Amino acid sequence: MCATKLCEDPEVDLRQIPLVALNVSVRRRLSLYLNPRCTVAADWTTVAESMDFEYLEIKNFETSKNPTLMILEVWEARSTNATVGKLLDILEASERRDIVEELRPLIDVDVKKYLERQSEPPVQVPEVDSCVTRAEDRHITMGDEMFDAFICYCQSDFQFVHEMIEQLEKTDYNLKLCVFDRDVLPGSCVWSITAELIEKRCKRMVVVISDEYLRSDACDFQTKFALSLCPGARSKRLIPVVYKTMSEPFPSILRFLTVCDYTRPCTQGWFWSRLAKALSLS
């Protein structure tokens, strides 16, 4: 075994290769090994601890259909240390050499393809080059301003999001909301852009809860990523909002948070002022 060097080219240090090099098939194979909870070998929870996730974060990941894929996505989005070599180090330290030996040939193939793509000369299209929308340049939204809140919603709930814009932005509250379909420039990587906005550009996140929300992979990622940034909601980052009756149970990972409920006629008169106040707190 070549440790954290590419077997066919020892000059390549896998600790310098970002995790994005690993394709879906390798990640799914890794999930087959780590997802089952095991008492005799390290599972995904041990790997998550080695990635510096906290206890409450790991408990939240338990609700995911594929916790291994989720921790890889969140780790990749928030850590500069998320590399192929570091992942191999974690598996070795967790005494899962069986996984390393099984997946290493596939990993090496992915890394070679990644390096080949990186070495290819870029396609020269002046019109595109003049429109800088890369995440590292932070030109990912219509402007470079900070937002009071990121709105987590699914497409079927956009009518309510539009009402939220009318009530919170175009009134004396004068709040600035980050609405993905309106504010994010096209042509960007959805997952990395979403993570950057939630972590660095938005003070809080409003989660529009509905039956459709529960079936949305994008909403699931956004919610769990935000929770990973503030375990136990100590900084009051997340504000769940319910605006219509649900047939499905309320998501368990948000039950510890106070809900802003628009479905109760007796409190509708206070709904927008309460939400605006929560978003305005320092």
Question: What pLDDT score does 78 carry?
Answer: 78
Question: What pLDDT score does 127 carry?
Answer: 44
Question: What pLDDT score does 129 carry?
Answer: 39
Question: What pLDDT score does 190 carry?
Answer: 80
DSSP symbol at 151: E
pTM of the model: 0.54
* Residue in 156, 157, 183 with CA at minimum distance from that of residue 169: 183
Q: Strand ranges (DSSP E) for 188-229? A: 202-209
Residue 235 CB neighbours (<10 A): 11
Question: What pLDDT score does 236 carry?
Answer: 53
Q: Which two tokens stand for residue 270?
A: 């206070």
State how far the Cα of 229 lies from the Cα of 253, in Å rounded to an integer: 14
Low-confidence ranges of the chain (pLDDT < 50): 1, 123-137, 232-235
* Residue in 202, 196, 156 with CA at minimum distance from that of residue 179: 202
116: exposed, middle or buried (Cβ count in 10 Å: 0-12, 13-18, 19+) = exposed
Question: What pLDDT score does 149 carry?
Answer: 95
State how far the Cα of 270 lies from the Cα of 262, in Å rounded to an integer: 9
pLDDT in tens, 220-245: 888 888 887 755 444 458 999 999 99
Question: What pLDDT score does 134 carry?
Answer: 42
